[in-house]
Structure 1
Amino acid sequence: MSDAPETYSAKDEVGQIRARRTRWQRAKIELKKAPMTAWFGMIVIALYVFVALFAPWLAPYAEADSSFGAYLPWGDGHVFGTDQIGRDIFSRLIYGARNTMGIAFVTTILAFVIGGGLGLVAAISRGWADQIISRAVDVLMAIPSLIFALMLLSIFGSSIPSLIFIIAVLDSTRVFRLTRAVAMNVVVMEYVEAARLRGEGLAWVMRREILPNIMPPLVAEFGLRFCFVFLTIAALSFLGVGIQPPTADWGSMVRDNASLIQFAQYDLKAGITPLLPAGAIALLTVAVNFVVDWFLMKTSGLRDEQ
């Protein structure tokens, strides 16, 4: 009798190991079949993440070191020259990856926590709670988000916590609409009704029954929301109300060096300088969209005919 529990637990552990191994094998097979665009996107994202994580070791100079001459040319210790107050542009590009991407990532997570949580509550509770939350979201979505963000940042200040919270709240409205829409199709399923009849709490039903069945569209939406948040932060920084100096940010770097474009006919490298952070923004956006498109293709059951 004493050997039975041990035998069962050993078999159960072996089964779990095999299941994890099978999932990993399926993931490797899917990665091998991924198109070139998806591989390009994943490589670019991995490179950006690597640069963001190891920015202090990769950058040749400090983020706010302004001890050099203004507008120094490319080369001579400065790969992309210096900006208007003598800061190394290459170092600020590297630190900009950490700041811009890090803030956008945290903002997107907060937007999903707020919008996703409210969307699940609205879908499963319905009634007056659904109506109140939905009408409040409609009011927020009726106001152009960029203009609303400019107004709120002018009132509460352009600190990083304010920037994260304001953009997360404004962007959570889109997450709420998607979460509520996909969750409404799941809450009517029999297994959800059975869980509620068993007396399971609202949080348990949302976490164990609804959320696992709506993850694919939410994961795809996370990639798209990250792009929109990333571009919004860059736009606000370009307008002067986003990430404030001396913190490096790609949007503010475009604004600070925009005047160099008019000298492109005399010095091509100087004219290209403002395009470097703009190109970094565009490249990451395209890469994330490539990966999201591939993920949607896999989770939707569609197949590439080529």
Structure 2
Amino acid sequence: MSAQPAVLPPSRLARLRRRSGTTSGSAWRRPTMIAGLVIAGLWVLIAIGAPLIEPHDPLAQDFAITEAPSSAHLFGTDELGRDILSRVLEGARHSLPLALLLVALSGTIGTILGVVAGYVGGWVDGVIMRLADLVSAFPAIVLAMVVTASLGPSTRNAVLALVIVSWPIYARVVRSLVLSIGQAEYVQAFRLHGASAGRAMRKEILPNVVGPIVVLVAIYLADGLLLLASLSFLGLGAQPPTPEWGSMVSVGTQYFQNWWMATFPGLAIFTAVLAFNFIGDGLRDVFDPQSSAGRGEDS
């Protein structure tokens, strides 16, 4: 005798329907999501309007070398007498756009390769996935250091190196989604009604891939900021006198007695990374309300 599918009580079905309908809306109102959006929005505004709000020229040197925070220099000055507050604000104009460029390039390349691998399959899938395995076999920061050191220390080469090490993340996720969605009954029915493979991809598969990719972009935007700062910290990214957060922390570690030199750019990295992580977690619940509903139901 075959087992009959379990039937949920009407009351529980109603609760799950209400949860799935309201979870995406409540996710936007969560304190962490609101905090992430506010902090990220502030940094975006700072990046746009930095020249208007900087109290000093971020590259101008002064005789007030390594001066502690004061009314004249709220964040103090560095080893060349430059105002750290102005350099932190100016650093947002370099760090945030570079992180956005990084996730845009790696996300686009990874998504295209993941779609091709999942939908075409065969030897094409094998080649793309083995290439992804090869790149993923090395720690991301180590491989990025090797590539950047080979090409020469610069911001452009740092972004290129990080794109090379980041695309497999997107490719694997998209390939898995394409394989799963491509076998769904509604996609098969769409094909049986005469839709071509390309039309099925555009109408049924790609729209269902967008949500997870948006979540990945938000989360890996935080990772991109950290990796770019790490390369600059090691001297392989932005070069002096460019005010970049990672390089500022690197210089600050040489002056431990002057705590403000590394603390304030470090806090800038911390708050930006935390904000994008909060946004990524919130977007995950927005695009996948069933997971949040399941967690609430289990509790």
Question: Per the shorter chain, which TM-score range?
Answer: 0.7 to 0.9
- Give the root-mean-square deviation of aligned CA atoms: 2.4
**1:278 maps to which of 266, 274, 296:** 266
Alignment-derived partner of residue 12 in structure 2 = none
Work out the CA distance in 1 between the residues paired with 2:63 and 2:119.
60
**Residue 154 of structure 2 contacts residue 236 of structure 2 at CA under 8 Å; is this kept in 1?**
no
Structure 1 gap ranges (5+):
1-25, 264-269
**Residue 27 of structure 2 contacts residue 286 of structure 2 at CA under 8 Å; is this kept in 1?**
no
**2:250 maps to which of 240, 252, 255:** 255
Structure 2 gap ranges (5+):
1-20
Query: Secondary structure at the residue paired with 1:235?
Result: helix
Alignment-derived partner of residue 293 in structure 1 = 281
The CA deviation at 1:243 is 1.4
TM-score (norm 1): 0.81
The CA deviation at 1:198 is 4.1
Determine whether 1:238 maps to 2:233: yes
Work out the CA distance in 2 between the residues paired with 1:190 and 1:299.
21
The count of residues paired between Structure 1 and Structure 2 equals 272
Alignment-derived partner of residue 95 in structure 2 = 100
Alignment-derived partner of residue 151 in structure 1 = 146
The CA deviation at 1:248 is 1.1
Check 1:191–1:68 CA distance in 2 against 1; reply closer, same or farther (3 A cut).
farther
**Residue 75 of structure 2 contacts residue 264 of structure 2 at CA under 8 Å; is this kept in 1?**
no
Alignment-derived partner of residue 137 in structure 1 = 132
TM-score (norm 2): 0.83
Matched AA of 1:187: G
The CA deviation at 1:118 is 0.3
The CA deviation at 1:201 is 6.1
Check 1:198–1:248 CA distance in 2 against 1; reply closer, same or farther (3 A cut).
farther
The CA deviation at 1:299 is 2.6
**Residue 42 of structure 1 contacts residue 291 of structure 1 at CA under 8 Å; is this kept in 2?**
yes
The CA deviation at 1:102 is 0.9
Matched AA of 1:287: A
Alignment-derived partner of residue 12 in structure 1 = none
The CA deviation at 1:283 is 1.5
**Residue 68 of structure 1 contacts residue 82 of structure 1 at CA under 8 Å; is this kept in 2?**
no
**1:43 maps to which of 32, 38, 42:** 38
The CA deviation at 1:297 is 2.3
Determine whether 1:167 maps to 2:155: no
Work out the CA distance in 1 between the residues paired with 2:284 and 2:191.
29
Work out the CA distance in 2 between the residues paired with 1:55 and 1:209.
43
Check 1:46–1:211 CA distance in 2 against 1; reply closer, same or farther (3 A cut).
same
Work out the CA distance in 2 between the residues paired with 1:131 and 1:235.
33
- State the identity %: 29
**1:127 maps to which of 114, 122, 136:** 122
**Which aligned pairs between 1:136-215 and structure 2 lie closer than 5 A?**
136-193=131-188, 194-195=190-191, 198=194, 200=196, 202=198, 204-215=199-210
Check 1:34–1:183 CA distance in 2 against 1; reply closer, same or farther (3 A cut).
same
Matched AA of 1:168: V
Deviations 1:236-295, CA, capped at 9 Å, x for gaps: 11111111122111111111112332x2xxxxxx32431111111111222222222222
Matched AA of 2:251: D
